[in-house]
Amino acid sequence: MKKIEILSRLKNAGVIAVVRGKTSEEALNACHAIIKGGLTGIELTFTVPQADQVIKELLATYQEREEIVIGAGTVLDAVTARLAILAGAEYIVSPCFDKETAELCNLYQVPYLPGCMTIDEIKTALKSGVDIVKLFPGSAFGPSIVSAFKAPMPQVNIMPTGGVSLENMQDWFDAGVVTVGVGGNLLAPAATGDFEKVTEVAKQYAAKMKEIAG
């Protein structure tokens, strides 16, 4: 039931914050600021130095907060996926589909969200046990592509990442996505150390998600 429970928390989170940073300290502070703002989904990318240690620290800090779900992003291979899972990552996100990573995640019953751009890639991912497909980059398509993908594959669960904003979030959910990944405009203030601004923007996303969820 572990995998189902994590998938449920991802859906309930609604907005997954894709966290990058030049240093592990910057990324960690950004995560704290985002959670303070009311968002409960964190995707800590493996472009962050010592990303596995940041994941461990986040899990230790928020172990009493059952609604918070923390995963690893920009996972390019099964070796990195295993490192992330051993650090406690609750789900794995990749910019593209990787069969070995899918098999490893299935072995550990950890959700795998690979980036896909075509019907063929989505079909391959679903056959390999993927429950949520990451539409990446979302900015290359827009919300209208969701119905195009769902016409032949109504069973596919989609999470767009890249190109999702406060202005178009409603359009994505109206199109039928299960959750959205948000990075750039949410994390931009972190680069200059303005974590209060990160919290402020996170509050806006949390409020928008609450409005969408009704």
Name the residues annotated as catalytic.
43, 134
Q: What is the largest CA-CA distance in the chain?
A: 45
Assign 80 to helix, strand or coil. helix
Element at 56 (helix H, strand E): helix 51-61
Contact (CB, 8 A) for 112 and 89 = no
d(CA 64, CA 172): 31
The answer for residues whose C-beta is within 8 angstroms of residue 145's C-beta and 6 or more apart is 135
